[in-house]
Structure 1
Amino acid sequence: MPTGPNFGVGGLVLAILAGAVAHAAEQDLRPVGRTAEGRLTIDKASQHDHHGHGYERVLATVDLADPVAEAGRTLARADVTLDWDCARGRLRTVERIYRTAQGEYVRREPSRDDWRAVPLSGAERAAFELVCPTPRQGEPLEAGGPQATSQRRRSEAQVIWMPGSRR
């Protein structure tokens, strides 16, 4: 089984670990509070304008308040992809990846949720204010408000080769 040019299994493992360490170094985790589901943390470093569709995509983690036993493992955390429509004050869940307390992958659950209004208070409101900072009164975003001046990055296509996959 070929593993790539001059990598070997040991090199492949080192490359994966180096990538995981680099990703961890790029995180900017911001705890925002508790929801009915559990403790919500936003990764600000993941925030980006999703393909120019007019909303922000952000990765979040929910430490589940009520862990669930499933197939001999305990689901203790959900890594959640969220879309935030700052202009309209709404959000939607894109997908959840459930993990054990040790971070072991359990399952992925895509979401077909519709957009919903951001609550007026609580952790989701705090997350909205973190992701969508409001301009000072009388200062439109286009005129140089907080979002207009921050560095923006957009989603790009990604190709991930899994071990054993063929090109």
Structure 2
Amino acid sequence: MQRVLEHLRKDLGKRHAGSPRRGEDPQALRFHAMGRNGNWAVVMTVDEPCPERADDVLDIVSTLPLTVSRRQRAAVGELVACLNALADDGRFEGPDASGRVHCRGLHRIPADAVPSSLRLLVERHIALVDRHLPSFFAVVAGGQTPTEAVSQLERMRRFA
């Protein structure tokens, strides 16, 4: 666990990571991701390895930069289900009781992992959130249905 945290602190910590907030895990690394479609808070923690495996588990959680009203939660929940069916790496969760949507990625980190592979995991997570963020905005602020937002996302992927 300490090895993974040290790699992340050296790589991301110099530029982005902040101190944990009160009540948070002191081992958590926080930073603000900046994608093409917005910016959002990211928290990374490393879970202790299982006794039968030496792999650590890196938990990356992004909090999307929007709050979903109670009347929009069903539509956003449907969008979350649709996007999770398309996502390769990570899962969207929510909206929670406060109306926030999160994206979580759990990654096993082998004992021989190098810093560049950890950076790649973080970059893939950020790209996943950034790629799907417009769909959330389209449903919450643009009045699109989840089906319309996913169709638009798929069209954009084909022509990108």
State if a TM-score over 0.5 links the two structures: no
More relative contact order in 1 or in 2 (CA 8 Å, sep 6+)? Answer: 2
Query: Normalization by structure 1: what TM-score?
Result: 0.31
Write 1 or 2 for the structure with the bigger share of helix: 2
Write 1 or 2 for the structure with the bigger share of strand: 1
Query: Normalization by structure 2: what TM-score?
Result: 0.32
